[in-house]
Amino acid sequence: MEKRSCWQGWLNAEVYQEFVEHWPIYAWLNRDLAAGADLETARRVLDLGSGTGATAAACLRRMRPEARLVGIDGSAEMVGVARSRVRDERALFVVADARAVGEAVRNRFDRIVANASFWLLPRTAKFYAALGALSEPDALLTFNVPAEEVAGEVVRPHAFQVALGRRLRGRHMSFARPTVALHPERLEERLGVHGFRLEKRESLVYKGRQRELIELMAIPAMTARLAPGLSAEERQAAVAEAAAAVDPGEEVEVPWVVFGFRRSGAGELRTR
Ligand SMILES: C[S@@+](CC[C@H](N)C(=O)[O-])C[C@H]1O[C@@H](n2cnc3c(N)ncnc32)[C@H](O)[C@@H]1O
């Protein structure tokens, strides 16, 4: 039986959407990603892990009237919110796990974007092959990843992360900081098989207050990844205790890495 993703459920979709509306980090990341995706000339955009539609909204603002966007997300509830919030006839949202993106989406795209989601997506040969098959020659694949999920990046943990880790560990030995998800050299190699070349790798630093990180952890999916053995209530109790132990007004920096891969042109793909 397929494992249920921690992103499913209405509570998750509701709390995520409230967070996105109230706190600036996702809007800031989405603006940056959309600005770097050359969307003004795009014809068809694929939005991977489209969530409640914040990425689509940022992209649609830059897209031409005749351009189209397809968002795909594995959580029916996140897609439900996206459909109700992004009322734009250029956009279509599909419920599908990225593992099946090749079957769920039929068109080919000249842009693929993934805001705050790429490291959550499968890292399988099938998925990378699907990205190749869904991309037109010269297509741009661009996504951002928290630096702590990128091998080789040195990231100092914040006081709240340390406090939360200790409290989750105290409740359940299954707590594990997930191992780094993304190995850039491996990714280059695996996407390279399907005609993608790394064109851009940039560092981006979000500056905010610790209280934003605390609120982020109110989204059930965020702590579910850290401590899958605990109930949502136990995880939230740990968040509350950790929040009480730190200064919410403290300034924090959250480093991200932005990647851009360009697919080979038609001539080069023909001769491969
Ligand atoms: C942090 S949210 C980002 C949503 C959106 N891009 C934004 O910026 O607001 C991550 C999203 O990735 C989706 N996701 C995670 N793993 C997935 C998978 N294997 N297939 C499809 N979607 C997935 C989750 O359901 C969630 O909506």
Distance separating alpha carbons of residues 73 and 80, to the nearest angstrom:
10
The model's confidence at residue 1, banded by pLDDT at 50, 70 and 90, is very low
Per-residue pLDDT of 175-210, as tens digits, reads: 555 666 899 999 999 999 999 999 999 999 999 999
pLDDT of 228? 80
Closest CA to 12 of 161, 176, 224: 224
Per-residue pLDDT of 218-247, as tens digits, reads: 999 999 888 888 888 999 999 999 999 999
Per-residue pLDDT of 62-103, as tens digits, reads: 999 999 999 999 999 999 999 999 999 999 999 999 999 999
Closest CA to 132 of 50, 46, 41, 42: 46
pLDDT of 177? 59
What is the CATH number for 99?
3.40.50.150
Q: Is residue 226 part of a domain?
A: no
Q: Tell how far the Cα of 199 is from the centroid of ligand 1, in angstroms.
A: 24
Q: Tell how far the Cα of 272 is from the centroid of ligand 1, in angstroms.
A: 33
CA distances from 138 to 126, 193, 200, 267 (A): 21, 15, 14, 10
Distance separating alpha carbons of residues 272 and 137, to the nearest angstrom:
13
Ligand 1 pocket, Cβ-based, cut-off 6 angstroms: 5, 7, 20, 26, 30, 49-51, 54-55, 73-75, 78, 97-98, 115-117, 120-122
Q: Is residue 224 part of a domain?
A: no
Q: Tell how far the Cα of 56 is from the centroid of ligand 1, in angstroms.
A: 12
What count of Cα atoms within 13 Å lies in the side-chain half-sphere of residue 158?
25
Q: What is the pTM of this model?
A: 0.95
Domain hosting residue 49, numbered range = 10-155+179-207+253-265
Buried b (16+ CB within 10 A) or exposed e, 39-54: beebebbbbbbbbbbb
Q: Is residue 213 part of a domain?
A: no
Q: Is residue 27 part of a domain?
A: yes
Q: Is residue 19 part of a domain?
A: yes
pLDDT of 179? 67
Per-residue pLDDT of 123-171, as tens digits, reads: 999 999 999 999 999 999 999 999 999 999 999 999 999 999 999 888 7
Q: Is residue 234 part of a domain?
A: no
**How many domains does the chain fold into?**
1
Q: Is residue 236 part of a domain?
A: no
Q: Is residue 142 part of a domain?
A: yes
What length is written for the chain?
272
Averaged pLDDT of the chain: 93
Q: Probe ligand 1: pick from 2, 3, 7, 69, max atoms within 8 Å of CB?
A: 7
pLDDT of 171? 77
Minimum-distance ligand 1 atom for the alpha carbon of 78:
27
